[in-house]
A and B are shown apart, each in its own frame.
Chain A
């Protein structure tokens, strides 16, 4: 029997969806509006949605000169943006190179202590970052890794590696080992089987895990704040520069936020199907 929606049901459904979308999209929409206004129009009382849009905030960020009502100062937000991209991409790449084979091993081989090792790796995700950071800072200073990209990428593995390991492991476990066995017995090596069968079949999961890891790495604040100085810091930390002596530059902050969420937003929109699949499948099976 087919279920037909009544008119009322359709209307209610549309209303509910609209409310949900408004609820979640409103902050982004509001920030977009803010980014097109000057500090004066943002702060006027009462607030209004009627204003004359300006691109001055974006211009300031791109040219690196922050014009405030009191003075003009240099900022390097584009440098921060580049740092974010570089740190996130290299961290995720490294985590994929290390994590995917490890996930395969955890999925296929049950050896003594394998669950313990896997769980230890996962526990990195729920240890409070501050707890790790203080001793880490001391070690990094002694080892010369403080304020280096390598040091940061290494620490970012705490974010990326467990995520990738556990999601991708679930995907590998979903693939029947006999599909690989059939390939192996037909005259292919273990490594060829991993490359030609296991990797492509787990592809969506690997993509989802990579995307998630990218978003988490991109949003990280505390590691870079403590372990890196200005020229290595990503956008999350860089945004602090807008809190100036002459006040908080809301317009520029909004423009910076828009610029920094655009890459992750675009990625997430592009791959939302993978993301949902990867999260539900991987999480349930893990």
Chain B
């Protein structure tokens, strides 16, 4: 593989002093190839924005090294890094019109006025803000300001485009429309983009790979498909996917030809040994105390499965979410048809062995993954 465009090696970010400071990012290492679209996904305070701002040069890198195109940028001023950025707070310059705000990103390129105008018009059309180019930031909505800020970043011809929550303020329909357009634009221009988001749908739709972060640590950096089907640990497993993965604490035993996952004194899930490979069974038994994960889409009704008690039945307009109780814990199943089970009713569901994800309860590390694609 050719040299990565962006290389982050063992980077820490500590706010305050090393002794008493707050760790925002811990031992982060990742590489982004030229032409890739990568998302940093995580909840608030997970270190994703700190990471982006270190790449841009607005935060010092406490430890480690970041390089762009093979050149270390730790001590390089933002202006010399050749990166473009869309800020979460829009950060448009109030005395300039929306059009001029977008155009001023091109000032340094020495393009002719006519070329600048063409490019601004092109990007404004893509972002549906052609009609407000002559307005001032204070007189347009937050969503329009956000698109202007996005335009100001995308219009540039930089090595790396950093987009911090680029569509957070947009209404859902517009967001869905722009996702497609922006992805197409980035591909067409051959840009490399890193976006920070807490919206999974956005990350899935836009990215080639997603870096899931939590508590300053990189949890997993993989394609959306791998994240969904082979989560490296319990955090990624439960964080990725909507509704979230069902999880149950279980202890594992094996007797003759059965593997038994004991959920509590009364409920156990029993499978024939032949359903699992020998190594998975050995690993699961070795861990003794494990967590079983099942995606809500993989939970199916059956006549001879385990009995669960319906708690809530929600019809979302295109699918049914049923929350039920199993061994004192909650299990959610998703069906594409409308279901009419009432609260308190008992239904029988099947957790097929090939839909189970097994995790070690202590470390959270994945032991095995079922082969059913989510």
Of the candidates A179, A181, A189, A201, the one whose C-beta lies within 8 Å of that of B58 is A181
Question: How far in angstroms is the closest Cβ of chain B from A202?
Answer: 12
Question: How far in angstroms is the closest Cβ of chain B from A241?
Answer: 49
Contacts of A102 in B (CB 8 A): none
Q: B87, A178: Cβ atoms under 8 Å? A: yes
Contacts of B57 in A (CB 8 A): 185
Question: How far in angstroms is the closest Cβ of chain A from B23?
Answer: 19
Q: A200, B95: Cβ atoms under 8 Å? A: yes
Question: How far in angstroms is the closest Cβ of chain A from B49?
Answer: 11
Contacts of A184 in B (CB 8 A): 77-79
B209 at the interface (CB under 8 A from A): no
A133-B77 Cα distance, complex, nearest whole Å: 46
Q: A188, B108: Cβ atoms under 8 Å? A: yes
Q: B83, A185: Cβ atoms under 8 Å? A: yes
B66 at the interface (CB under 8 A from A): no
Closest partner residue, chain B, to A189 (CB atom): B79
Contacts of B77 in A (CB 8 A): 184, 189-190
Q: B91, A185: Cβ atoms under 8 Å? A: no
A187 at the interface (CB under 8 A from B): yes
Q: Which among A176, A179, A187, A201 has the greatest number of chain B C-beta atoms within 10 A?
A: A187
A39-B58 Cα distance, complex, nearest whole Å: 69
A197-B149 Cα distance, complex, nearest whole Å: 16
Question: How far in angstroms is the closest Cβ of chain A from B124?
Answer: 17
Given known pairs A186-B156, A190-B77, A201-B94, the reply for A181 and B107 (CB within 8 Å) is no
Closest partner residue, chain A, to B155 (CB atom): A186
Q: B93, A185: Cβ atoms under 8 Å? A: no
Of the candidates B81, B83, B84, B93, the one whose C-beta lies within 8 Å of that of A179 is B93
Given known pairs A187-B79, A189-B79, A190-B77, the reply for A182 and B93 (CB within 8 Å) is yes
Contacts of A182 in B (CB 8 A): 85, 87, 91-93, 149, 152
Q: Which of B188-210 contact A (CB under 8 A)?
A: none
Contacts of A189 in B (CB 8 A): 77, 79
Contacts of A183 in B (CB 8 A): 93, 104
B89 at the interface (CB under 8 A from A): yes
Q: A185, B85: Cβ atoms under 8 Å? A: yes
Of the candidates B56, B95, B104, the one whose C-beta lies within 8 Å of that of A181 is B56
Q: B56, A178: Cβ atoms under 8 Å? A: no
A189-B108 Cα distance, complex, nearest whole Å: 11
Q: Which among A184, A200, A201 has the greatest number of chain B C-beta atoms within 10 A?
A: A184
Q: A186, B58: Cβ atoms under 8 Å? A: no
Question: How far in angstroms is the closest Cβ of chain B from A107?
Answer: 15
Question: How far in angstroms is the closest Cβ of chain A from B94?
Answer: 7
Q: Which of A187-230 contact B (CB under 8 A)?
A: 187-190, 197, 200-201
B105 at the interface (CB under 8 A from A): yes
Q: B79, A181: Cβ atoms under 8 Å? A: no
Contacts of A190 in B (CB 8 A): 77
Q: A185, B56: Cβ atoms under 8 Å? A: yes
Given known pairs A178-B87, A181-B56, A181-B58, the reply for A186 and B92 (CB within 8 Å) is no
Contacts of B83 in A (CB 8 A): 185
Closest partner residue, chain B, to A180 (CB atom): B91
Q: A181, B87: Cβ atoms under 8 Å? A: yes
Q: A178, B91: Cβ atoms under 8 Å? A: yes
Contacts of A200 in B (CB 8 A): 95
Q: A186, B108: Cβ atoms under 8 Å? A: yes
Give 1 or 0 for each of B307-348: 1 = CB within 8 Å of chain A CB: 000000000000000000000000000000000000000000
Question: How far in angstroms is the closest Cβ of chain B from A24?
Answer: 35
Given known pairs A186-B107, A187-B107, the reply for A181 and B92 (CB within 8 Å) is no
Of the candidates B87, B94, B108, B149, the one whose C-beta lies within 8 Å of that of A187 is B108
Interface residue ranges, A against B (CB under 8 Å):
176-179, 181-190, 197, 200-201
> What are the nearest 10 A-B pairs in CB distance?
A187-B108, A178-B91, A178-B87, A186-B105, A179-B91, A182-B91, A185-B78, A184-B78, A185-B85, A181-B58
Between A and B, 11 residue pairs with Cβ closer than 8 Å are A184-B78, A185-B57, A185-B78, A185-B84, A186-B104, A186-B105, A186-B152, A187-B109, A188-B79, A189-B79, A201-B94
Task: Beyond the given A182-B152, A186-B84, A197-B93, please list 6 additional residue pairs across the A-B interface where CB-CB is below 8 A.
Answer: A182-B91, A182-B149, A185-B57, A186-B104, A186-B105, A187-B107
